[in-house]
Amino acid sequence: MKITNREERKETTSKRAAIEGTNSALKRAHNVDKLNVRGIVKCKLVLGAKITAHNFRQLARFFRGDIRKKVLEKLSTANQGIPVSI
């Protein structure tokens, strides 16, 4: 299927680019490209554990303040929920 509309192509390309970074990080940091188990159930469990570890790692980076400028800009301009003092 070929997308002829330029806007649709740009949108789908940007979505794919967004997840490619996550896939690359999982492959590099957690060796997702090669699992040392056999069977669908075991692979799903191991992959789930690796994804959970990646998410905790990202969360720890966020709380340390070790996030990119682009993400900080997005967070500062986002209007989400009701402001509550901490």
Instruction: Specify whether the CB–CB gap between 31 and 54 falls below 8 A.
Output: no
Q: What is the rounded CA–CA span in Å between residue 78 and residue 81?
A: 10
Contacting residues for 57 by C-beta, under 8 A, at least 6 apart? 29
Q: What is the pLDDT of residues 48-77, one digit of tens each?
A: 999 898 889 889 988 888 776 666 566 666
Phi, psi of 41 (to 5 degrees): -65, -45
In single-letter form, the type of residue at position 75 comes to L
Signed CA dihedral, 29, 34, 36, 40: sign only: positive
Q: What is the pLDDT of residues 13-35, one digit of tens each?
A: 777 777 888 888 888 887 888 88
User: What pLDDT score was predicted for residue 41?
Assistant: 94
